Amino acid sequence: MAWQIQCTASPPPLPSFPPFTLKSTSSISLPLPLPLTRSSRFRSTHAPSPRPIAASFSAVESTTSTDGLGNSKTPLLEVKGLTAVIAETKQEILKGVDLVVHHGEIHAIMGKNGSGKSTFSKVLVGHPDYEVTGGDVVFKGENLLDMEPEERSLAGLFMSFQSPVEIPGVNNIDFLHMAYNARRKKLGEPELGPLEFYAYIYPKLDLVNMKTDFLNRNVNEGFSGGERKRNEILQLAVLGADLAILDEIDSGLDVDALQDVAKAVNGLLTPTNSVLMITHYRRLLEVIKPTFIHIMENGRIIKTGDSSLAEVLEEKGYTAISAA
């Protein structure tokens, strides 16, 4: 039986909290917001390597840099020469992507439709529709390409999809509770019971401007576009991911919803986690300030700069970037 939570200004007294029973379901893979299939459908031409990543990827070991004050910066994500094709048709989409994301940074990827932005994000989380054909991806010092999608999520990778799917029959509180405990188990921490988890999640609802009755609703079922995006950020807040990949999180949002989502993302940023966001619009970059902006074209990142790149795009379009 799912939790029935009353909409009140403060959490209801714990002694009166209704019984809670986790519903077992084999139709979802947790803790990924979008269920992905396991290794029977995950395609990659990379042969798994049992060796530590430091022993096998010398090409990316030199990316540790300094912040200008002499302090060492350890990369959180390193992508070198990544190539990928659509698994079914073998059409090449990614043609050599290079990217380094350090702790505490916000990276924005912009580009025309069809440039490979969303494909890049899906390849990072292990979407089965794409096959990696070359390159290296290192996340927190480990070979990301050797991990199953669920392992990538448990390791601290999170993705908010452009069009979040509905999961009928599974309410938000059950979904989030199972996902959160799966990550705690991975980290060697004790799982939280229903009452402890409710106390943990309740303050996070204010962060995304969501009412408590959303917790009793099935995941994204009947949600508006803004509600779905808020729900994705709630999942991010609960899981506490190290790297959040936000694929066009501003798509379909009105001004108020965009402000709510941006405020929530900014509230989750710390010196140790990072954000990689994909967007077409400068308006998102005005509320979530990027450390770097990358322009993607034809499956590659062709230019990297600061926020002034967005101004150039708005004034002159992508032609000015491609010709530069």
User: Which of the residue ranges 29-38, 54-63, 210-219 would you say has the lowest mean pLDDT?
Assistant: 54-63
How far apart, in whole angstroms, are the C-alpha atoms of residue 90 and residue 136?
A: 19
- Predicted pLDDT of residue 33: 42
User: Which of the residue ranges 124-133, 187-196, 217-226 would you say has the lowest mean pLDDT?
Assistant: 217-226
Q: Are 172 and 30 in contact (CB under 8 A)?
A: no
What residues does each domain of the chain span? 106-111+150-316
Average pLDDT over residues 73-85: 94
Say which residue, 217 or 99, is predicted with more confidence: 99
- Predicted pLDDT of residue 27: 37
Residue 47 reports pLDDT greater than 50: no
Residue 40 reports pLDDT greater than 60: no
How far apart, in whole angstroms, are the C-alpha atoms of residue 84 and residue 96?
A: 9
Residue 235 reports pLDDT greater than 60: yes
What are the C-alpha distances in Å from 282 to residues 49, 204, 248, 289, 312? 41, 27, 12, 10, 10
Question: How many alpha carbons lie under 13 Å from residue 69 in its C-beta half-sphere?
Answer: 2
Residue with structure tokens 């709510």?
260
CATH 1.10.10.10 fits 106-111+150-316, yes or no: no
pTM: 0.75
Which of 232, 222, 238, 265 has its CA nearest to residue 164?
232
User: Which of the residue ranges 45-59, 175-189, 210-224, 284-298 would you say has the lowest mean pLDDT?
Assistant: 45-59
The radius of gyration of the chain from alpha carbons, rounded to an integer in Å, stands at 20
The 10s digit of each residue's pLDDT in 300-314 is: 999 999 988 888 888
**3-class secondary-structure state, position 32:** coil
Residue 44 reports pLDDT greater than 70: no
Tokens representing residue 36 in the block: 């992905």
In single-letter form, the type of residue at position 245 comes to I
